[in-house]
Structure 1
Amino acid sequence: MRNSLSELWRYRDLARLLVAKELKLRYRRSVLGFAWTMLNPLLTMIILSAVFAHVLRVQVEHFPVFVLSALLPWNFFAQSVVGGSLTIVHNESLLRNVRVPRAIFPVALVTSHLVNLLLALVPLLLVMMVLGVPPKPGLIALPYCLLALWTFTTGVVLVLSTWTVFFRDVAQIVEVFLTALFYLTPVIYPLSMLPERTRAVFRLNPVLYFVEPFRQMFYEGRIPAATDLAIAGGLAIASLALGLAVFRRREHLFLHYLS
């Protein structure tokens, strides 16, 4: 793992270029461009607020902040996984013509989505100000939570991008799985509304440990529990180690299966 990370660090300038390329391609020929990074979660928040707070009468104070604080990290994870599963396939020509660490492509893609997440935090803070929910000292844990989320997601993407080279159905399966996982992750509902026994089952979902801390920091205004932060850190390191191991073990076969 250390050798893989050192190799990627040596190519950090190329990684920055790939991140910039991903961002430009994502908003190419778009009238609003990067503004969509902030508009998309805002529009989703408005729809969810209208449905859950007004139609279904869900009683949650400051519901827009409640849902947006969890929706942003979820969107980062889901969009990274969907796009990342195909990143090796989509970069076949570069893999054939440029000698660089192959893992740099999924890493750059996840990092480009991290940039989007950072930009999307701006409208969240604005909504908080409008609704009278001031930022609190709990946000001191934000850098750690962002790093843990990025690390965990990168590991998942490394595994899926490897599998997709050999089985193209993986990309479609991932999209279906993420739909189910969305409802199994407390994004649009509080975990506390579930019965204690059900809550224990939901805590087996690793994504929960990366979504809940954002809600606790932004909505509840508190630092996440040390136990939950430790679990998130452990899951992140394990995910990255597994992802790099799977990727390095199979990457020598990529060009053969991409042909």
Structure 2
Amino acid sequence: MGSIATLEYSNHRELSARVRLLHWLFVLGAMLAAVAIALPSVLAQPTLYRAQAVVRFDAQRYPSLLADGQPTPALHQLEANLGGVLERTRYPSLRRYGLAYAYPQPGTIVLTAVASTPEQAIAIAHDAADGLARRIAAADGAQLLRALLGQELRQALLGRAPERTDQRLLRELLMTDAVAGVGAQAGQLTLDALSAEQRQALTRALEVLHGQIQYERQSAELRLQRGATPEEQAQARSVILGTANKLRAIEVLLQHLYTAYGTDATMREPDQAVVVTQDPQSAALIPTYRLPKLALAALIGAVGGLLTVAIDRQVGILPKLQELWTYRQLIRNMVTRDLKARYKNSLLGYLWSLLNPLLMMLIFWIVFSVLLNNPIPMYPVFLIVALLPWNFAVTAVSGGMRAIIDNANLIKKVYFPREILPITVVLSNLVNYIFALPVMFLVMAVVQWTQLGRLNFSWTFAFLPVIIIIQVIFLIGLVLLLATMAVFLRDTTHIVDILLQLWIFVTPVFFSLEQIVAPMLARLLRWVNPMASIIDFYRDILYGQPTNVIPTPGLPALDGVFRTLLTALVVLALGAYVFHRYSGRFGEEI
């Protein structure tokens, strides 16, 4: 008896040592997996430079720009207008890297420009400070310009010809409709009678107007280059012709002001009401922290691995995985059965995997792009890269939560791991999703070729399996939880069917969250709705940013990927724990 007990004890110790080794190997694998996920994003992180400039203005003179010492919407509108003009006319990279504003004290604005080279960062900061200073100084001049044009409009309606050069130039500007909201009005304003300060403000207003019209012209030229419809091309050509006349009239009037009155200010003279007090002399390198980020990824992987080990000791994940591996042939057969049943007695068979997403994409495209005039560029691509994973999620959740109930007879007759049933549903829908991917790439190729004249495929497509794995982890955990709930509370299936209809409206499938909600609310939705983040990841690597004129694929934000992966693992752990605890009672309940 003693020898038998000793042998059993020895076997137990050997088994425990083997399990501990597997646990440590799993933790190590989790760390390596986390680093592997983070590595492409970290290595692709560009080297960026930051340059700053400072603009100061008389806060009492411009009360509409400050309220209780804080910037008003009017000031933010000036900044947004400046950013759009700079991006379209001089610095296309500005949208990607950004231009930030800080307000350390009333009347002081610190501009921070970020670019890929120090020279460009300095140039952007310099031009942005100059442009913002001119826009602030133009606040008074815009009303003055309307008053002068209103007087000329009244004189023209009375049939009086211009008597002076400035009147003639104002009349030519009036005829181009460059300034909106001009109405006839009486008055005796003339450029000679204006004070030097008023002429400076008028000049700044004309300079800002010139930049805005240049922005309109380049936007119209870009629409022509993108291959718009004949109607849009005709409209764009009309805009280009009109802006040419406007720009010519403004330039002639500005030259007159510069020559006759010396209003060509540099915005750096200290006695002005608005002045650039600090120009960037150098640009600072923005640290990338590549090694700390990889170390943090390894730490997160280790924490996730240790948590999984802790759950395994309570639930027995490794033995369960070994058991599922033993039944891998059954899983394969059930997945094959589901796929065959999906297209049984169908003339087109597998082709429905290609036609279904294509037809759904066409419906959404007609509704949201053609009828509602959605401004998102290359909208069919924007749509289909999100629609396919969304359909995968909905069909997996809807079928997976019914997997136990629908197979009640099988559960009562034969023993096998009950987890196989909901997991099989997820895997069969995954295979169906993979079958539909050729349609996605075909749509992408056709749209890019017709609108850009070239293919815009990217190496970031290689990141697709990582996003699919995160989505599969999340869906398996969710269906395990819902399948358990459905056994004990049959109303779960009806409630979830209703919630699935709501789910699409808080997931950016046919829209971008930033289009309809504030940035903070969009971030909150991504935190509470993992599918919103997952859809955004698909768009990042396959489509790009919908705000760009030509969307270019890129890697998703590293913190977002880890946050969503951690959420998916938590959902999987919760679903596995609940399913494991209550699966023994399934036979009684169904």
Q: TM-score scaled by structure 1?
A: 0.96
In structure 2, what residue type is equivalent to 1:103? Answer: E
Q: Which residue of 2 aligns with 1:17?
A: 333
Partner of 2:14: none
Contact 1:4 1:244 in 2 (8 A): no
Aligned: 1:131 with 2:454:
no
- 1:188 corresponds to which letter in structure 2? F
Give the aligned residue type for 1:202. L
The question of 1:237 aligning with 2:569 is answered yes
Residues 17-166 of structure 1 correspond to what in structure 2 (within 5 A)? Answer: 17-132=333-448, 133-166=455-488
**Which structure 2 residue ranges, 5 or more long, are not aligned?**
1-316, 449-454, 545-552
Structure 1: how far apart are the matches of 2:361 and 2:484?
34
What do residues 159-194 of structure 1 show as CA deviations (whole Å, max 9, x unaligned)? 111111111111111110011110001111012213
Instruction: Supply the AA of the counterpart residue of 1:112.
Output: S
**Structure 2: how far apart are the matches of 1:97 and 1:105?**
14
1:169 has 2:169 as partner: no
In the TM superposition, 1:241-256 aligns within 5 A as 241-256=573-588
CA distance in 1 between counterparts of 2:537 and 2:443 reads 18
Within 5 A, what are the aligned runs for 1:187-198?
Answer: 187-193=509-515, 194-198=517-521
Is residue 140–residue 223 contact of structure 1 (8 Å, CA) maintained in 2?
no
Moved more, 172-181 or 229-238: 229-238
Cα-to-partner distance string for 1:11-48 (whole Å, 9 max, x where unaligned): 11111111001111111111211211111111010011
CA distance in 2, matches of 1:196, 1:235: 21
How many residues were matched structurally?
258
- 3-state SS, counterpart of residue 207 of structure 1: helix
**In the alignment, does 2:531 pair up with 1:199?**
no
Give the Cα separation in 1 of the matches to 2:457 and 2:337: 33
The structure with the largest alpha-carbon Rg is: 2
Match of 1:130, SS state, is: helix
Distance 1:125 1:206 in 2: 25
- What one-letter code is carried by the residue in structure 2 that aligns with 1:231? R
Describe the superposition over 1:178-226 as per-residue Cα deviations: whole angstroms up to 9, x where unpaired: 1111000111101221322321332221211221111111111112111
Q: Deviations over 1:203-256 (max 9, x none)?
A: 221211221111111111112111111112112211111111010111111011
Please give the root-mean-square deviation of Cα atoms over the aligned residues, in Å.
1.2
Structure 1, unpaired ranges of 5+? none
Q: Distance in 1 between matches of 2:346 and 2:489?
A: 32
Higher strand share: 2
One-letter code aligned to 2:500: L
Cα offsets for 1:55-99 (capped at 9, x unmatched): 111111110110111111111111100011100111112212221
Aligned CA distance change for structure 1 residues 200 and 228 (closer, same or farther; 3 Å): closer
| TM-score computed with the length of structure 2 as normaliser | 0.43
CA deviation after TM superposition for structure 1 residue 148, in Å: 0.8
Which of 534, 541, 557 is the matching residue for 1:225? 557
